[in-house]
Structure 1
Amino acid sequence: MKRYAILISMFAFVIFLAACGGNEEDSSGESQEDKEEARTIKHEMGETEITGTPEKVVALEFSFVDNLASLGITPAGIADDEDPERIIDPVKEKIGDYTSVGTRKQPSLEVISSLQPDLIIADYERHQDIYDQLSEIAPTIVLPSLSADYEGIIDSFETVAKAVGKEQKGEEVLKEHKNRMEELRSQVPEDESRTVLPAVVADSGYFAHNFESYTGSLLESIGLENAIQSGDDRYNKINLEQIVEVDPDVMFHMVTGDKTVVDEWKENDLYGKVSAVKEDQVYEVDRNMWSRFRGLISSEKILEDAINHLYE
């Protein structure tokens, strides 16, 4: 009887070990069951089913690179416009080596396919027409980036976190981000009444970002009112006369190229009538940071930059 009891105990212990092993967690804290779990991701082009944790992710917009870096993931491939210098330093510090898959406007399907990705993240504005081709290569989700405002960027981050199987990590990162945003907002005086105008400034023209643009809505989120509160387009090419009419108190210029249209305007008396010019409140800022990258990391850096300029 005693021997029978011992055998029963040993049998129960073996079953216990097997049960524990079946749900064993790896070093990332994910169980095997979690890794194989299938989930349906809703996005701009419909729904995509993803199984397990993607190991090779291709990002076709910089905002998605920012998203992945925030989650501790290095993309296998990035549409970096074939210029690694466009990867902003705070993001570069968080990711490792990657393969360039060409430009954001025309990524190379051949290079993407060669990477054998298990997830592709594409931008609705730029890539909706090649969605079917991308989906033949790997599960693909299409999210707003180029046309998104700040809140849209937050929504995209949450979708990316779910797609890569890091919802809990995403919640933690987003909580830290919101706390940082509150800290930055507290540095803007409650009586701040100046209007601001972020714009890409190039030889080809002056491209103003209105209150619904990513940068415009980001600045508004901490109490900095955009000078353009109307318009069908979030990004508007405007002339000098229109700037005088809008009359911003502060201008943030994302300069592109050695010479811009503003260099010509400086010889025009009209330019000197703009409040920002009269009060010496025109600031040159990094276009990669302020315009091309749209994510949690870049959002914080943009606001830090703006606050340093406005409240030295």
Structure 2
Amino acid sequence: MTTTAQKTRVPSGKRPGAAIRTVAHRPTRRGFLAGAGSLLALGAAGCGGAPSRAGEETEDARTVEHRYGTTRISGRPSRVVTVGLTEQDYVLALGVSPIGVREWFGGHPGALWPWAREALGDDPLPEILPVDELNFEQIAALGADLILGVNSGLTEHEYGTLSEIAPTVAQPKEHADYGAPWQEIARVVGQALGRGAEAEELVGDIEARFDGVRSEHPEFGGATALLAASIDGAAYVYAEGPAPGFLTQLGFDLPEAAAAVFTGENREPQSIGLERLDVLEADVLLMGLYGAEGESVMDEPVYRSLDVAREGRDLAMPEMSRINGALSFGSVLSLPFALDELVPRMAVLIDGDPDTRPEEVS
């Protein structure tokens, strides 16, 4: 679940979850760079010419609003770098191959999970940027004409430094860091790329798929579903993020007992002790597995005594499984994969018959 920079493995509600994956601290600026002035020189050396700048006026220029103000973008950018955690999926879905992608997790070539690799086609793999800290020197050398940090936690200082390299779009101001829903990310990325109409069509197509699933599975409506994780043998439950949002979009409700443990305004992930594992009771339970093999809370006798376990209504999702990755990304490319793979399994889980367990996740 974690990169080498992630020490605690305790997810934060301000990050997408793997189903619940998160980074334990916000990435910070590289300390060895003196500031924006040095980066201007780096950018000029790396791209062989000055990139377009925010605020440039052309016939097709547009203004994109974000946490730190507005960014003016002209034309259709083609050299795009993504410094958030999942924007590569959105860029690829809109027909642009990124030249630099910030690695989140998975260890895939080009930091692209299978659904994104397929969308890349025969284009070159993007250069991988580290997740723990922004490497401004590396980013500047790529010669980008647009930098996207929509699903990110960019600081104002980081945003200002990136803006000296190329027009940069930071996270939306209406949401917490890493908290914008997939529809919002798609629309902001579409606007930045000059492909707003395509983004709206993409959002509409995926929302129609959710509508179709709810119609085909009326049993989901009003039933309860919960996303949880076993992290080094400890249990956590989640109410916010791509994966819980996926369950809500399918028509499920959060169980009352689980809902009661979320007392903060942002409904941060909560740790659940063995004496409180009854909080995991739900019509459907999705359990992400993280940590050393043999340390899963699902192996505890108290867990095996729960109705959700005895009746076969739980699904284990290993950290690096494609389903876990698809839920973690919760993107316009990964959501169709998650629907294809999870909906049939959830239809089996909800029947409460332990003899009809779904296919295991690998």
Alpha-carbon distance in structure 2 between the residues aligned to 1:148 and 1:301? 21
Q: Is the 8 A contact 1:104 1:126 kept in 2?
A: no
Q: Is the 8 A contact 1:57 1:119 kept in 2?
A: yes
Q: Is the 8 A contact 1:201 1:207 kept in 2?
A: yes
Match of 2:343 in 1: 307
Match of 2:155 in 1: 128
Q: Is the 8 A contact 1:197 1:252 kept in 2?
A: yes
Match of 1:175 in 2: 204
Alpha-carbon distance in structure 2 between the residues aligned to 1:39 and 1:163? 8
> Does residue 1:248 correspond to 2:272, yes or no?
no
Counting only pairs closer than 5 Å after superposition, residues 280-299 of structure 1 correspond to structure 2 as 280-285=312-317, 286=321, 287-291=324-328, 293-299=329-335
Q: Is the 8 A contact 1:56 1:75 kept in 2?
A: yes
Q: Is the 8 A contact 1:125 1:146 kept in 2?
A: yes
Match of 1:114 in 2: 141
Question: CA, structure 1 residues 99+301, in 2 after alignment: closer, same or farther (shift >3 Å)?
Answer: closer
Alpha-carbon distance in structure 2 between the residues aligned to 1:124 and 1:48? 16
> Does residue 1:148 correspond to 2:172, yes or no?
no
CA deviation after TM superposition for structure 1 residue 260, in Å: 6.0
The runs of 4+ residues in structure 1 deviating greater than 6 Å are none
**Secondary structure of 1:148's match?**
coil
Greater helix proportion: 1
> Does residue 1:42 correspond to 2:65, yes or no?
yes
Amino acid of the residue matched to residue 84 of structure 1? H
Which runs of no fewer than 5 residues in structure 1 stay unpaired? 1-33
**Secondary structure of 1:225's match?**
coil
Cα RMSD (Å): 2.6
Alpha-carbon distance in structure 2 between the residues aligned to 1:110 and 1:87? 22
Kindly name which structure, 1 or 2, has the bigger radius of gyration based on alpha carbons.
Answer: 1
Match of 2:252 in 1: 224
Alpha-carbon distance in structure 2 between the residues aligned to 1:113 and 1:204? 42
**% identical equivalent positions:** 23
Counting only pairs closer than 5 Å after superposition, residues 185-264 of structure 1 correspond to structure 2 as 185-190=214-219, 192-203=221-232, 205-210=234-239, 212-227=240-255, 228-230=258-260, 231=262, 232=264, 233-259=267-293, 261-263=295-297
Match of 1:63 in 2: 86
Match of 1:97 in 2: 124
Amino acid of the residue matched to residue 326 of structure 2? M
Match of 1:272 in 2: 304
String of CA shifts for 1:142-161, please: whole Å, max 9, x gaps.
12586426xx2201210110
CA deviation after TM superposition for structure 1 residue 191, in Å: 6.5
CA deviation after TM superposition for structure 1 residue 234, in Å: 3.8
CA deviation after TM superposition for structure 1 residue 262, in Å: 2.1
**Secondary structure of 1:49's match?**
strand
**Secondary structure of 1:197's match?**
strand
**Secondary structure of 2:64's match?**
strand
Q: Is the 8 A contact 1:105 1:126 kept in 2?
A: no
Scaled by the length of structure 2, what TM-score is found?
0.68
* Between 152-161 and 175-184, the greater mean CA deviation after superposition: 175-184
Alpha-carbon distance in structure 2 between the residues aligned to 1:111 and 1:175? 36
Amino acid of the residue matched to residue 204 of structure 2? K
Scaled by the length of structure 1, what TM-score is found?
0.78
